[in-house]
Structure 1
Amino acid sequence: MSNLVSTEWLAAHLGDVRLVDASWYMPAEKRQPAQEFEAGHIPGAVFFDIDTIADHSLDLPHMLPSAGEFSAAAGKLGIGDGESVVVYDGSGIFSAPRVWWTLRAMGHKDVKVLDGGFPKWKREGRAIETGPAKPNTKSFTATFKPQIVRDFDAVMGIVKDKSARMVDARSASRFNGEEKEPRAGLRSGHMPGAANVHFRSLIAADGTLKPRGQLCAAFEQAGVDTSKPIVTTCGSGLTAAILMLALDEIGAADVALYDGSWTEWGGRPEAPVVTG
């Protein structure tokens, strides 16, 4: 079953789902997603702040919070146990998969991503609502699902024993160490043995996820065997979720995401880094 829903489907089911705007942008874009949400969003949506609903005890961006913290935050957004959730973002498909993965990591099974996101919705002239969301608090019970999450120690083990394939969503120039990382203090390059599938290679010109055949080809060309265990990674754990979404769409059965990603790995002196 697909993790995606179309704008046509959503328009016909707006009253049946909890809609979540998960817009987030790179700091260099200097955009304010919370303000943009109030200026216009899909009717009935609530705003999920990726940087706020996170573990603030770590000096790493938007890391998964504890199950208890997430339960409280999700409940305040009006997300209840067992509800159908549809996540979208203001780029098409960019940050929504991160919240899709977060909800799944917290045990919520019924969650989809809006294919093409808010840009496609607006292009089609569909209804838009303004102002802040005013959801009624509901009960959300998070149950952490460690099978789809990897931490630093687990990835160190993978790099040593090759028990899974690391697949990096960053650009080729960052992966190869030809371009400096946008975050200061990080080394350039990639994990030994990692493959590179730039997340943008999975997105069509209209902001939707590419068809299954093209997704399969992208991973095949990178030398990734999707029948074997895979761990996705990126700069900060956000676009790695796009890879995870795509892999799930093509039937890869054993996929997890490295939450700390390069912000953690590139900043840890004991972590091996290669270039080229």
Structure 2
Amino acid sequence: MNADNPKGYENPDLLWTPAQLNERMGDPNLRIIDTRPGERFAMGHIPGARHFNVYAINCDDSDEAPLMSFLRMWAFLLGNRGVSFENTIVFYDDRVGNTCVRGFWFLELFGHGDVHVLDGGYGGWERAGLATTRDSEPLKAANFEFNLQRDRIATYKDVLAAIEDDDHVLLDTRTEGEWLGTEARAKRGGALPGAVWQEWLAHLTPEGEMKPASELRAQFEAIGVTPEKEVTAY
């Protein structure tokens, strides 16, 4: 670890601090995406941010035709928010949460090489004493082209194969109730056969920032998620 990478990550540039984002404010190529509920965006947001509901559309079929149709709709919605493939993109939530990470993953899936998550989210931005606003600027639509990276997504066929593969770990990051089947948010409750569980909240500090790499590594190793294993998270 060093001053430029205090948490010891392998790829620290994926996670920006509020100070890093603040240094880039005013960059015409920067696109800041607020993934919180619309009412919270209206009550205050980072200057220049565009609101985007990452759950506006969903797809429960990973076969080729419906999946590609879904991804094209996602790309259209990004373009409609003025986001193009050439932009530097930063997603944020109230903390490092499901919505900003979902946005980040989609951009990784689309082959975008300059996408980031704001560590600590809007809460971290406010704690740093940085400027906020309730104003929104008119958006000019852009054309978002993408280069699909299929190794970033696991279809149901991939998951079925992973269940039988000792070198593959299925990591369930949902709530404990969903893991145990007492809370169902899908057609059926329960977990995938052979999966291990660690709720995503366990990866955050009380302030909603990502924990240091050493702590995360120890947590993952304790449940059998190790560097030599292929991992599919859900």
Structure 1 and Structure 2 fold alike (TM over 0.5): yes
Aligned to 1:35: 39
Aligned to 1:9: 20
Contact 2:15 2:117 in 1 (8 A): yes
Q: How does 1:17-96 map to 2 (within 5 A)?
A: 17-23=30-36, 33-55=37-59, 66-96=70-100
- Residues 213, 57 of structure 1: CA spacing in aligned structure 2 closer, same or farther, 3 A cutoff? closer
Give the counterpart letter for 2:204 in structure 1. Answer: I
Q: Provide the rounded CA distance (Å) in 2 between the counterparts of 1:205 and 1:38.
A: 25
CA positional deviation for 1:81: 2.1
Give the counterpart letter for 1:36 in structure 2. Answer: R
Q: Provide the rounded CA distance (Å) in 2 between the counterparts of 1:102 and 1:184.
A: 21
CA positional deviation for 1:227: 2.0
Unmatched 5+ residue regions in structure 1? 24-32, 234-276
Contact 1:86 1:114 in 2 (8 A): yes
The C-alpha deviation readout for 1:188-217, integer Å capped at 9, x for no partner, is 3x2222111221111001110000100101
Unmatched 5+ residue regions in structure 2? 1-10
Contact 1:64 1:102 in 2 (8 A): no
Q: TM-score, normalised by structure 1?
A: 0.72
Contact 1:79 1:138 in 2 (8 A): yes
Aligned to 2:6: none
Bigger mean CA offset, 179-188 vs 159-168:
179-188
What secondary structure is seen at the aligned counterpart in 2 of 1:107? coil
- Residues 142, 42 of structure 1: CA spacing in aligned structure 2 closer, same or farther, 3 A cutoff? same
Bigger mean CA offset, 220-229 vs 112-121:
220-229
Contact 2:44 2:133 in 1 (8 A): yes
Query: 188, 203, 222: which is aligned to 1:186?
Result: 188
Q: How does 1:204-223 map to 2 (within 5 A)?
A: 204-223=205-224
Aligned to 2:203: 202
Give the counterpart letter for 2:117 in structure 1. Answer: V
Q: TM-score, normalised by structure 2?
A: 0.84
The C-alpha deviation readout for 1:70-96, integer Å capped at 9, x for no partner, is 332111111122211111002343321
Contact 1:18 1:83 in 2 (8 A): yes
Give the counterpart letter for 1:86 in structure 2. Answer: V
Q: Provide the rounded CA distance (Å) in 1 between the counterparts of 2:55 and 2:163.
A: 29
User: Number of paired residues?
Assistant: 217
CA positional deviation for 1:220: 0.7
Give the counterpart letter for 1:10 in structure 2. Answer: L
Aligned to 1:125: 129
CA positional deviation for 1:68: 2.6
CA positional deviation for 1:55: 4.0
Is 1:135 the equivalent of 2:148?
no
- Residues 184, 111 of structure 1: CA spacing in aligned structure 2 closer, same or farther, 3 A cutoff? closer
- Residues 57, 151 of structure 1: CA spacing in aligned structure 2 closer, same or farther, 3 A cutoff? closer
Q: Provide the rounded CA distance (Å) in 2 between the counterparts of 1:15 and 1:64.
A: 34
Give the counterpart letter for 2:16 in structure 1. Answer: V
Give the counterpart letter for 1:9 in structure 2. Answer: Q
Q: Provide the rounded CA distance (Å) in 2 between the counterparts of 1:130 and 1:207.
A: 23
- Residues 65, 126 of structure 1: CA spacing in aligned structure 2 closer, same or farther, 3 A cutoff? farther
Contact 1:89 1:118 in 2 (8 A): yes
What secondary structure is seen at the aligned counterpart in 2 of 1:186? coil
Give the counterpart letter for 2:26 in structure 1. Answer: G
Give the counterpart letter for 1:18 in structure 2. Answer: R
What secondary structure is seen at the aligned counterpart in 1 of 2:226? coil
Aligned to 1:272: none
Give the counterpart letter for 1:19 in structure 2. Answer: I
Aligned to 1:168: 172
What secondary structure is seen at the aligned counterpart in 1 of 2:232? strand
CA positional deviation for 1:162: 3.9
Counting aligned pairs with the same residue, the percent is 27
Contact 2:108 2:149 in 1 (8 A): yes
Runs of 4+ in 1 over 6 A off after TM superposition: none
Q: Provide the rounded CA distance (Å) in 2 between the counterparts of 1:98 and 1:66.
A: 14
